[in-house]
Amino acid sequence: MKRSLFVTFLCLALQCLLTLAAQNVFPSAEPAMIYTNTDGERVEESSFDGDAPLDVRFEARPVNLGDYEARYEWQFTKVGEAEPFLTRFEENTEYHFSESGTFQVRLLITFTKGDDVIEWDEMDEPFTLTFAESKLELPNAFTPNGDGINDVFKVKEGYKSIISFKAAVFSRWGKKIYEWTDLEGGWDGTSGGHNVPDGAYYLNVQAQGADGRNYQIKKVITLLRGFSESSGAATN
């Protein structure tokens, strides 16, 4: 009998301790920054260093919320500026970064339950995103002969932070024969499904960088279908 009463007492005591512990658990958050990298993979990190533009999702991820209500405040600041340029009041938010520079995003939360108010500002470091200055270069010639080397006229690798792009190729008589707007695209030396002759063509490129730089590129490009990149010699 005594043993049974003792076990019952222990169970009640343990239940009381658990109840008290639960009452002393305060709400918090585990915020996350999510974006898709150039390989199409979903990445969750606290920082980013690369090219603009970039779409980023920010999630508050509250924990131990219980009966508390939460008021969220996302502050977006460009490094070097005193005040945030944007404030959002939602649990999860998304932003399209299209400028060069370094940006920081911090989450503040106010938890309330009756007269109980908890101000949460416990991010170790704000989310930091750095976007490079723009860069855009194009070659002077290409050799669309099917050897798998330099067969397409396109932007050189290593371009950075280009937020808009449009390119057009014209014949020597001023006729537009091809255009494209995808930085990964290019001209394969055809027009209307047919090969155009070797020779000089005129390129007109209009682009804008995330740093505000405007690119107006007008140049002559050379199509050399009878040249082999692998041998460095003309082919018949």
Question: Residue 20 pLDDT > 70, yes or no?
Answer: no
**CA-CA distances (angstroms) from residue 83 to 72, 119, 235?**
18, 20, 63
Q: How many CA atoms lie within 13 A of 153 on its CB side?
A: 29
Question: Residue 27 pLDDT > 80, yes or no?
Answer: yes
Q: Is 9 exposed, middle or buried (0-12, 13-18, 19+ CB in 10 A)?
A: exposed
DSSP for 53-103 reads -EEEEEE--EES-TT-EEEEEEEEEETT-SS-SEEE-SSEEEEEE-S-EEE
Token reading at 190: 């055809």
Q: How far, in Å, CA of 86 to CA of 128, rounded?
A: 15
pLDDT digits (tens, 9 = 90+) for 172-212: 999 999 999 999 999 999 999 999 999 999 999 999 999 99
Question: How many residues are present in the chain?
Answer: 236
Q: Would you list the domain boundaries of the chain?
A: 27-131, 141-234
Q: How confident is the model at residue 9 (pLDDT cuts 50, 70, 90)?
A: very low
In this structure, which topology does domain 141-234 adopt according to CATH?
A: Immunoglobulin-like (2.60.40)
If one counts every other C-beta atom within 10 angstroms of the C-beta of residue 116, the result is 10
Question: Residue 23 pLDDT > 80, yes or no?
Answer: no
Q: How far, in Å, CA of 157 to CA of 134, rounded?
A: 13
> What pLDDT does 1 receive?
52
Question: What average pLDDT does the structure give for the chain?
Answer: 89
Token reading at 170: 């014209």
Domain 27-131 bears CATH identifier 1.10.579.10: no
Q: Considering the entire predicted model, what is its pTM? A: 0.74
% residues pLDDT > 70 (the chain): 86
Helices and strands in the chain: count of H runs, count of E runs = 1, 21
pLDDT digits (tens, 9 = 90+) for 80-107: 999 999 999 999 999 999 999 999 999 9
> What pLDDT does 234 receive?
42
Q: Mean pLDDT across the stretch 116-140? A: 95
Q: Mean pLDDT across the stretch 41-58? A: 96
Are 27-131 and 141-234 the same fold in CATH? yes
H-helix or E-strand spanning residue 29: strand 28-29
% residues pLDDT > 90 (the chain): 83
Q: Mean pLDDT across the stretch 100-123? A: 96
Question: Residue 4 pLDDT > 70, yes or no?
Answer: no
Question: Residue 231 pLDDT > 70, yes or no?
Answer: no
Q: How confident is the model at residue 124 (pLDDT cuts 50, 70, 90)?
A: confident
Residue whose token pair is 């005594």: 2
> What pLDDT does 131 receive?
96
> What pLDDT does 227 receive?
72
Q: How far, in Å, CA of 220 to CA of 139, rounded?
A: 10
